[in-house]
């Protein structure tokens, strides 16, 4: 039986090198994949992914499973590390609409992970404009004003798309969680 | 000082705070409101959870072959890094304080996660500005004796402190209490809306006389930074 993510993370916090290696091995594809999606450059993505694991290790003792799953906790750390890098660049390395296509694309059955499939289906069901605005905000850390400037849409429209998209996503995830 | 927002005004900002993209001033406005509003706090928790889950859709990619060993090596050579940092006068943390303040004033969002490389790069400039004498810093220690953030203090007119809590033990407001020569004084509130929070306030008294800075949660739980040598 596989060790749970939370148990692995507890081992990481306790300084267990085997648990730390297992944790890195379990998540390296996801962490590197997210970093690459945000920064768009393999070399930078590797730096970001490594930095994310070191940050996670540093803060593993304070991880609280009541506040969320280990996977989303780790990916949030990764996203933050990637945005740190992204803010030094002038433009986004990835076309947001193209990224949305990648995010909602079905993957091979063998590569399917239940939690990702559930969120992928919810994102795919969002109105396209809302999905793009939401991805710009969540993946690239853009404010509504920045989304407005980038998309050439009024600020109110950008705010509305982010807000509506997130609320719709939440409702759909609530349904699939029931 | 920003004017308090009501629920309708905050509702417009909650989504951006949940996605992590909100500007510093907007985040402050929401945080101030959440101290008194449980419904909006609950709404933000749910929106944040949905926003975080969206990251699960990122496609997987195989990293370079040496990735795992490099990460483990970096962790191994960082052994002891999460332990307590020097209690007073840490120059790197002093630089961090300057970066934090500068970033906040420019509305940057991700200051709390700026890399140490960036902090080091700002180090000499900070010393030039502050003449290397005016900052103090100390690690913020949680109930389980792990470091959960930093406290930065500036001795000037007025003197002030800045608290960075990340990761926080849980969401909600944390009262900042400064103890000087055995007497407590409030220095504001740090409100956790995501994984952490940051807040600052003025301090009545000399920074050299500060004994400790505590963050006290609604449940009475405390985190503490000791500055007495």
Q: Could you tell me if B49 and B26 lie in one domain?
A: yes
Show which of residues 10-39 on chain B sit within 8 Å of chain A, judged by CB atoms.
12, 14-16, 18-23
Q: Could you tell me if B189 and B129 lie in one domain?
A: yes
For residue A26, the model assigns a pLDDT of 94
Chains A, B: CB contacts within 8 A come to: 193
Whether residue B150 lies inside any domain: the answer is yes
Q: In the listed set B49, B79, B109, which residue is the last one of a domain according to the structure?
A: B79
Whether residue B124 lies inside any domain: the answer is yes
The answer to whether the beta carbons of residues A85 and A49 sit under 8 Å apart is no
Q: Could you tell me if B12 and B121 lie in one domain?
A: no
Q: Could you tell me if B52 and B101 lie in one domain?
A: no
Show which of residues 58-77 on chain B sit within 8 Å of chain A, judged by CB atoms.
58-64, 67-68, 70-72, 74-76
Residue of A nearest to B80 (CA): A58
CB nearest to A67's CB, from B60, B113, B170: B170
Q: Could you tell me if B146 and B96 lie in one domain?
A: yes
The predicted-structure confidence for B133-173, as pLDDT tens digits, reads as follows 456 778 899 888 888 988 887 766 567 788 889 888 888 88
For residue A63, the model assigns a pLDDT of 81
The order of strands in the sheet holding B210-217 is: B183-192, B172-180, B210-217, B222-226, B135-141, B147-154, B159-165, B197-203
Q: What residue ranges define each of the domains in chain A, with the CATH number in brackets?
A: 1-92 (1.10.1740.10), 95-178 (1.10.10.10)
Whether residue B181 lies inside any domain: the answer is yes
For residue A13, the model assigns a pLDDT of 86
For residue A152, the model assigns a pLDDT of 93
Verify whether the Cβ–Cβ distance A33 to B167 is below 8 Å. no
Tell me the residue range of the domain where B175 lies: 91-226
pTM score, two decimals? 0.63
Residue of A nearest to B77 (CA): A54
Q: Could you tell me if B217 and B141 lie in one domain?
A: yes
The predicted-structure confidence for A28-78, as pLDDT tens digits, reads as follows 999 999 999 999 999 999 999 999 999 999 888 878 777 788 999 999 999
Query: Does B116 or A144 have the greater pLDDT score?
Result: A144
Tokens, residue A59: 């803060």
Closest CA to A6 of A51, A72, A50: A72
Mean pLDDT in order along chain B per 10 residues (229 residues): 73 89 83 84 91 92 93 83 36 45 37 38 41 65 86 72 85 85 80 82 78 85 81
The predicted-structure confidence for A78-134, as pLDDT tens digits, reads as follows 999 998 888 777 667 777 788 888 887 766 555 556 778 889 999 999 999 999 999
CA distance B154 to B49: 36
Whether residue B95 lies inside any domain: the answer is yes
């Amino acid at each position: 039986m596989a060790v749970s993510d939370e148990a692995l993370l507890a081992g990481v916090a306790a300084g267990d090198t085997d648990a730390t290696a297992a944790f890195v091995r379990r998540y390296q594809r996801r962490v590197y994949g997210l970093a690459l999606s945000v920064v768009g450059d393999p070399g930078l993505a590797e730096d970001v992914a490594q930095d994310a694991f070191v940050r996670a290790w540093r803060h593993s003792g304070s991880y609280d499973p009541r506040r969320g799953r280990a996977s989303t906790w780790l990916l949030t750390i990764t996203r933050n590390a990637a945005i740190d890098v992204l803010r030094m660049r002038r433009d986004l390395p990835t076309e947001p609409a193209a990224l949305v296509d990648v995010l909602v694309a079905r993957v091979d059955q063998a590569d399917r992970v239940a939690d990702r499939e559930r969120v992928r289906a919810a994102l795919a069901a969002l109105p396209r404009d809302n999905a793009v605005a939401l991805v710009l905000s969540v993946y690239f850390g853009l404010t509504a004003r920045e989304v407005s400037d980038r998309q050439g849409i009024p600020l109110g429209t950008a705010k509305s798309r982010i807000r509506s998209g997130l609320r719709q996503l939440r409702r759909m995830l609530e349904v699939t969680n029931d | 000082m920003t004017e308090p927002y009501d629920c309708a005004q905050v509702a417009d900002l909650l989504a951006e705070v949940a996605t992590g993209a909100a500007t510093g001033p907007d985040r402050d406005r929401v945080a101030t409101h959440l101290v008194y509003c449980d419904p909006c706090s609950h709404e933000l928790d749910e929106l944040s959870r949905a926003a975080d889950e969206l990251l699960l859709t990122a496609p997987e990619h195989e990293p370079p072959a040496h990735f795992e060993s490099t990460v483990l090596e970096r962790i191994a050579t960082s052994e002891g890094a999460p332990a307590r940092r020097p209690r007073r006068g840490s120059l790197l943390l002093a630089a961090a304080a300057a970066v934090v303040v500068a970033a906040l004033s420019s509305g940057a969002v991700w200051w709390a996660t700026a890399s140490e490389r960036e902090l080091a790069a700002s180090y000499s400039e900070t010393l030039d500005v502050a003449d290397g004498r005016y900052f103090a810093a100390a690690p913020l220690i949680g109930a389980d004796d792990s470091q959960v953030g930093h406290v930065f203090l500036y001795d000037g007119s007025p003197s002030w402190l800045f608290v960075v809590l990340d990761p926080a033990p849980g969401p909600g407001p944390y009262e900042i209490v400064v103890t000087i020569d055995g007497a407590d004084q409030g220095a504001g509130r740090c409100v956790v809306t995501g994984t952490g929070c940051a807040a600052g306030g003025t301090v009545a008294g000399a920074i050299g006389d500060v004994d400790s800075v505590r963050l006290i949660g609604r449940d009475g739980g405390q985190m503490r930074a000791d500055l007495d040598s």
